[in-house]
Structure 1
Amino acid sequence: MPENENLSRFAPSQPPSRTRDVIPVSELNHAIAGVLERSFPLAWVRGEISNFTRAASGHWYFSLKDARAQIRCVMFRGRNQHVDFAPREGEAVEVRAVVSMYEARGELQLGVEAMRRAGLGNLYEAFLRLKEKLAQAGLFDPARKRPIPSHPRTIGVITSLQAAAMRDVLTTLQRRAPHVNVIVYPVPVQGAGAADKIATMLDTASARDECDVLILCRGGGSIEDLWSFNEEVVAQAIARSRVPVVSGVGHETDFTIADFVADVRAPTPTGAAEMVSPDRAHLLQAARRAREALAQCMDRQLERRAQHLQWLSRQLRSPQAQVQERRAHVDNLARHL
């Protein structure tokens, strides 16, 4: 049977008449999916992982790309549980897959049945080289890390004004510490030249010296989206900052060079805001407990003082009784004399 036989009735030799059946989209997509699966046999495909996601169901969703193209991939839980390594953004892999279509959305994808390492992707290799270089230079040394102030008066936020991360950070700071001043230093967090602009803004915030701590943050994304925070110029700017820097870049599983150089690494932008801001509710509760403890201490002191005063009052005799006692003693001495 020819491979396109399923589609033969969709391409008649004569112009369709008005009475010919209309093809449902679902039927068309199903036929296309069948043609794709028969036309492209199971094969090994090499590329670099991007936009990797682990779904709650256990399935893996990611894109496989090279310098000129990319394609969506899915690897179901029953298959990926046999992979003997944890795939990472930017890592080059080889996948054994079949070309298919996700019929519900009409999207072309690879159904991955097996995966193996194919070496490290270019971006990840650059990340490892810079990480090793900066580690040898001492930028990751815990001894140079500064503590975060427990009660900052002013907090600086370095991020994009359009980033959802900024809204999360400001909302968290307003909820936890409305009494703390916040200064936003706007800067692009991805794209051409973003790393240089981030470094310049870090230097500006450090020179102005108007904050007690700085939050450097942006939301999650692929390794390409976060790459500005893997540039050496940003790492050096963090290291020379006179103000402690908290890095809150990406999701909890994302690690950048900025995370290793910063004084503290937070798992998310919201986590960074929680880390640097004292919780107002906890502070008020602690103040109430301290006030109650002070009142109890004062009550105990007053009670002890009252008891001591009462004892002293019992020991006190009137002057007349003392004069009579002295007079009797004098009379006794006179008789003996």
Structure 2
Amino acid sequence: MSEISREILSVGDLNRAIAQSLEDRFDTVWVSGEISNFKAYDSGHWYFSLKDEEGQIRCVMFRGRNGQVGFMPQSGDLVEVSAGLGMYVPRGDVQLTIQTLRRAGMGGLYEAFLKLKAKLAKEGLFDEDRKREIPSHPRSIGIITSPQAAALKDVLSTLARRAPHIPVVIYPTLVQGPEAPAGIISALKNAEKENAVDVILLVRGGGSIEDLWAFNDEQLAYAIAHSAIPVVSGVGHETDFTIADFVADLRAPTPTGAAELAAPRRDQILQELDAIFQALLQRINQRIEREAQTLDQLALRLSHALPNPDRMREQITGLQQRINQAWSVRIESWKRNHTHYQLQLEMLNPQRTLERGYAVILRQEKNSLFALRNSNELHVHQNYQVRLAEGQAVIEVSRVDTEL
């Protein structure tokens, strides 16, 4: 074939042909390497290179895919990716279009993480409408972590600085190892049973995926989701993601961040209280002004409703005098009645009868005294009490002569 008869391709056509050839030749490949020049754009897409001792290749991971990664990669991370091999035609760069990204050497754990994450997401445990509001002014804060964890010191220091007035309750547990998930679940249940805190901080410092694996436990995820107390997760560093982060009511990038999200700053609270006080004072002043205006209007209406105020004042004075006079008459009547009743009571007083020379004979029966009214009630050898005008005496009857 002569040189003139050969087809002359444009650069774009050539690059597209190469890209098509690469896509036809390679299906999905798994590649391991070190991330370099990592950039996350506002669009949500990630661009970086994978390199090793022998070479490097450009990579792109689009937003729809990297949302499933579970951590934010950084330059220097060793990772494994599954990708399609192709070419970016405008630049003529061979590149990997990444579908899956995981930390190198953690394939099995990462696959289990993604599988559990997908399962719980399907069940709705990550839905925002399920998550509870974190109280803006908690009365007390609970912390679930290891007493030996460095994260606990950071959290306590942050809470003491931001909100020293809020009590803190620590629920100690293991946060690493096979027994850690059961311990964390038990701590959650204890917090619910005691009902002493308004929000729980689930915190742990950074570490490898194995170190943080306790927070990827399925039963722990259900315990967090069903907790009666809102949970703030602060596990690892900002780039670390666990199942507990996704299911918690609020995820903090670090343990210190969890403390900052749960505890309002003391000076901020004071500013809010001052703002509320000023608002209340303004409302009160406005109310007083409105009521004063209403009072002025009522006074004006009242002045128009009284055709002769002086005459009405005279009538009021006359009524007061009549009331006072009627009251005086009533008092005098009560005094006269009182005197009359006193005289009647005095006339009926038995003592007056005794003073006229009479006596009364009383008979003792059990614990009571009875006055004798009939001579037949007198019996010999019986003791009787005789009361006179002055004094009393006990007598014994030796003989009774009854006159008919």
Q: TM-score range by the shorter chain?
A: 0.5 to 0.7
Contact preservation (8 Å) 1:59, 1:75: no
> Which deviates further from its counterpart, 154-163 or 172-181?
172-181
Q: Equivalent residue for 2:164?
A: 178
**What amino acid sits opposite 1:177 in the alignment?**
A
- After TM superposition, list the pairs within 5 Å mapping 1:216-295 onto structure 2: 216-295=202-281
Question: Given the alignment, which residue of 80, 87, 90 partners 1:92?
Answer: 80
* CA positional deviation for 1:139: 2.4
- Give the aligned length: 240
Q: 2:183 aligns with which of 197, 203, 206?
A: 197
Q: Percent identity?
A: 51
Change (3 A) 1:307 1:233: closer
Q: List per-residue Cα deviations over 1:125-147 (Å, max 9, x = no partner).
A: 11111112222333223343222
2:148 maps to 1:159: no
Aligned-pair distance for 1:233?
2.8
CA distance in 2, matches of 1:270, 1:119: 28
- State the secondary structure of the residue aligned to 2:233: strand
Aligned partners of 2:209, 2:146: CA distance in 1, in Å? 18
Contact 2:224-2:244 within 8 A present in 1 as well: yes
Q: Hey, what does 1:69 align to over in structure 2?
A: none
How many angstroms does 1:303 deviate by? Answer: 4.4
- Give runs of aligned pairs for residues 1-337 of structure 1, distance below 5 A: 82-85=58-61, 87=73, 91-92=79-80, 120=102, 121-306=107-292, 312=299, 316=303, 319-320=309-310
Shift of 1:116: 10
**Structure 1 unmatched runs, 5+:** 1-45, 61-73, 95-113, 324-337
**Alpha-carbon distance between aligned partners in 2 of 1:287 and 1:277, rounded to the nearest angstrom:** 16
* CA–CA separation in structure 2 for the residues paired with 1:285 and 1:241: 33
Contact kept? 1:93, 1:116, Cα under 8 Å: no
SS in 2 for 1:255: coil
- Give the secondary structure class of the aligned counterpart of 1:151: coil
Residue by residue over 1:97-129, the C-alpha shift from the partner in whole angstroms, topping out at 9 and shown as x without a partner, is: xxxxxxxxxxxxxxxxx9998975111111111
Displacement of 1:322 after TM fit?
8.2
> Structure 2: how far apart are the matches of 1:203 and 1:322?
77
Q: CA 1:80–1:116 in structure 2 vs 1: closer, same or farther (change >3 Å)?
A: farther
Return the index of the structure with the highest Cα Rg.
2
User: Aligned with 1:92: secondary structure?
Assistant: strand
Partner of 1:7: none
Please tell me the residue identity of whatever aligns with 1:227. Answer: W
- AA partner of residue 253 (structure 1): T
Cα contact 2:233–2:248 (8 A) shared by 1 = yes
Alignment-mate amino acid for residue 242 of structure 1: A
**1:150 and 1:278 in contact (8 A); partners too:** yes
Q: Is the 8 A contact 2:203 2:234 kept in 1?
A: yes
Answer yes or no: is the 8 Å Cα contact 2:203–2:233 preserved in 1: yes
TM-score where L is the length of structure 2: 0.50
The AA in structure 1 aligned to 2:136 is S
On the 8 A contact 2:145/2:171 being kept in 1, the answer is yes
TM, length-normalised to structure 1 = 0.58
How far, CA to CA, are the matches of 2:216 and 2:33 in structure 1?
18
Of the two structures, which has the highest relative contact order with CA contacts closer than 8 Å and spacing of 6 or more? 1
Label 1:302 to 1:254 Cα distance change in 2 as closer, same or farther (>3 A): same
1:192, CA displacement in angstroms?
3.9
CA contact (8 A) 1:90 1:122 kept: no
Q: Which ranges of structure 2 fall in alignment gaps of 5 or more residues?
A: 1-30, 40-49, 62-71, 83-94, 314-404
- Find the aligned partners of 2:271 and 2:256 in 1 and give their Cα distance: 23
Query: Per the alignment, in what secondary structure is the counterpart of residue 215 of structure 2?
Result: helix
Deviations along 1:64-118, one digit per CA (max 9) or x if unpaired, are xxxxxxxxxx979xx9894445858784369xxxxxxxxxxxxxxxxxxx99989
* Per-residue Cα deviation, 1:9-63 (whole angstroms, up to 9, x for no partner): xxxxxxxxxxxxxxxxxxxxxxxxxxxxxxxxxxxxx8698xx9x8xxx699xxx
Change (3 A) 1:322 1:268: same
Q: Which amino acid aligns with 1:168?
A: D
Distance 1:319 1:274, change over 3 A: same
